[in-house]
């Protein structure tokens, strides 16, 4: 069973939460930045594509290029979901409770079973302390 973090959009209270799984992202290992091309992942995809391009262009003839690229994709696979969470937070989404589920649908059902009014009452961000 996977652990999923829930994220709510305060600008659209009726919208369902965005669920992001914890753990390794096998798609990012093999597809690299293409695995991040989904809603709320464009900036991370652009950044990682730029790193891929730099590695391929600058180290084109060097024998260490492919091991470096493989290591970068491994790091990307380990942190792809964290990049997506960071981009959601940067987009104004508010983190909700974590929930366990075998799939995204099961996690959403468990989240709504835990708090049926969650779609109507979106958690509000905590106010920043004034300096």
- Asked if residue 124 is part of any domain, the answer here is no
Residue ranges making up the domain that contains 64:
2-119
Query: How far is Cα 92 from Cα 128, in angstroms, rounded to an integer?
Result: 14
Burial class for 21, CB neighbours closer than 10 Å (0-12, 13-18, 19+): middle
Q: Say if 130 falls within a structural domain.
A: no
Q: Considering its fold, how many domains does the chain have in total?
A: 1
The answer to whether position 126 is within a domain reads no
**Residue 41 resides in a domain:** yes
Report whether pLDDT(128) > 70. no
Per-residue pLDDT band at 116 (split at 50, 70, 90):
confident
Note if the pTM is more than 0.85. no
Q: Could you give the CA distance from residue 63 to residue 65 in angstroms, rounded to a whole number?
A: 6
Q: Which residues contact 111 (CB under 8 A, 6 or more apart)?
A: 4, 6, 17, 19, 96, 97, 99, 118
Flag whether 57 is in a domain.
Answer: yes
């Amino acid at each position: 069973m996977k652990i999923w973090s829930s994220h709510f959009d305060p600008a659209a209270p009726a919208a369902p939460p965005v669920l992001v799984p914890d753990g390794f992202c096998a798609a990012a290992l093999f597809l690299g930045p293409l695995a991040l091309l989904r809603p709320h992942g464009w900036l991370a995809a652009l950044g990682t594509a730029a790193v891929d391009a730099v590695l391929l262009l600058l180290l084109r003839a060097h024998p260490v290029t492919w091991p470096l690229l493989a290591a970068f994709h491994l790091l990307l696979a380990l942190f792809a979901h964290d990049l997506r969470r960071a981009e959601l937070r940067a987009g104004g989404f508010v983190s909700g409770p974590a929930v366990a589920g075998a799939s995204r649908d099961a996690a959403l059902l468990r989240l709504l079973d835990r708090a049926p009014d969650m779609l109507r009452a979106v958690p509000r961000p905590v106010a920043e302390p004034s300096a």
